[in-house]
Amino acid sequence: MEHYFSLDEDLQEIRMSLNKDPHIGKAIKQFWGLRLIRQDPWECLISYICATYKSIAAIKHMLNNMAEKFGEKTALDGFEFYTFPSCQTLAAASEAALASCGLGYRAKYVLETSKRICNEDYDLESLRKLPYADAKKVLMSFSGVGAKVADCVLLFSLGKTEAFPVDIWVKRVLLNHYADKLPKETVQRLSSSDSLSSGDYKRLNEFGVEYFGEYAGWAQEYLYHLERMTV
């Protein structure tokens, strides 16, 4: 429990490292006590492959369906539930069976990634030993894994606290509160578009990592929640 919810992290140290401007200071104060989870890397990877362009409700539905169809039924304290499917189980599944869980086109990515990890006997935990950029490059070589999915997996399961995932909310934060620290042409382009190209993702991600440093992922979570709560 302590490890899973990062209860062993020193929040005072994180605050001292991140408190670079009034806006992040406000976010830290308002959400003091916020923690990052440390999910199992395999479960985290497959979950985020499924999460692309889906609502939280839809993601939950997909993952529950996969667990019921491919996981093992178990019980704890009188409650029955299903474990997350193993790599071997998903690698042996058919694309149609995965798609029937609501995955749609993601079924192909889940199947291909599962097969590769099983066939290569790849240990995702080994990515902890690599520098952030190298670990991200490896993850992006798996089917269905783009920059954002890779950053989320690195942050929420592999201990890379410098990872800075960027979505539409984080883009909004940076444009609203950090535009003066970004290239003018980048701000103009992002302000005129609702989408986020791979190049712009890279620019915003690099800004977050460089500006906030080793705890950029924590900054992302603080800023994300403040933006969501103030809309």
pLDDT over 80 (residue 1): no
pLDDT over 90 (residue 78): no
Per-residue pLDDT tens for 159-178? 999 999 999 999 999 999 99
* Co-location of 153 and 178 in the same domain: no
What's the mean pLDDT in 104-114?
97
Least confident of 87-96, 155-164, 180-189, 200-209: 180-189
Q: How far is CA 62 from CA 8, 99, 102, in A?
A: 32, 9, 5
Answer with the residue of higher pLDDT: 171 or 192.
171
Q: Using CB atoms within 10 Å of the CB of residue 59, give its burial: 0 to 12 exposed, 13 to 18 middle, 19+ buried.
A: middle
Mean of per-residue pLDDT scores for the chain? 94
**CA–CA dist 122, 209 (Å, integer):** 27
Inside any domain, residue 5: no
Residue 226 dihedral angles phi and psi, to the nearest 5°: -65, -45
Q: Please, are residues 62 and 54 in contact by the beta-carbon 8 Å criterion?
A: yes
For residue 56, how many other CB atoms are within 10 A of its CB? 8
pLDDT (0 to 100) of residue 7? 87
Answer with the residue of higher pLDDT: 77 or 25.
25
* Co-location of 49 and 76 in the same domain: yes
* pLDDT > 90 in the chain, percent: 84
* Co-location of 77 and 53 in the same domain: yes
**CA–CA dist 212, 227 (Å, integer):** 17
| Neighbouring-strand partners of residue 73 | 82
What's the mean pLDDT in 30-50?
95
Domain range for residue 68?
41-157
Inside any domain, residue 4: no
What's the mean pLDDT in 10-27?
95
Strands 79-82 vs 73-76: parallel, antiparallel or unpaired: antiparallel
- Select from 105, 127, 157 the last residue of a domain: 157
Residue 35: band (very low, low, confident or very high) from pLDDT cuts 50, 70, 90: very high
Answer with the residue of higher pLDDT: 52 or 48.
48
Inside any domain, residue 1: no
What's the mean pLDDT in 50-79?
91
pLDDT (0 to 100) of residue 53? 83
**CA–CA dist 20, 28 (Å, integer):** 11
Domain count, the chain: 2
Catalytic member of 136, 148, 160, 171: 148
- Select from 141, 157, 173 the last residue of a domain: 157
- To the query of whether residue 108 is one of the catalytic residues in this protein, the response is no
pLDDT over 80 (residue 38): yes
Inside any domain, residue 110: yes
Inside any domain, residue 3: no
Per-residue pLDDT tens for 111-164? 999 999 999 999 999 999 999 999 999 999 999 999 999 999 999 999 999 999
* Co-location of 15 and 116 in the same domain: no
Q: Please, are residues 180 and 128 in contact by the beta-carbon 8 Å criterion?
A: no
* Co-location of 31 and 57 in the same domain: no
pLDDT (0 to 100) of residue 2? 78
- Kindly report the CATH number assigned to the domain that includes residue 216: 1.10.1670
* Co-location of 190 and 225 in the same domain: yes
Q: Please, are residues 165 and 148 in contact by the beta-carbon 8 Å criterion?
A: yes
* Co-location of 76 and 171 in the same domain: no
Residue 231: band (very low, low, confident or very high) from pLDDT cuts 50, 70, 90: low
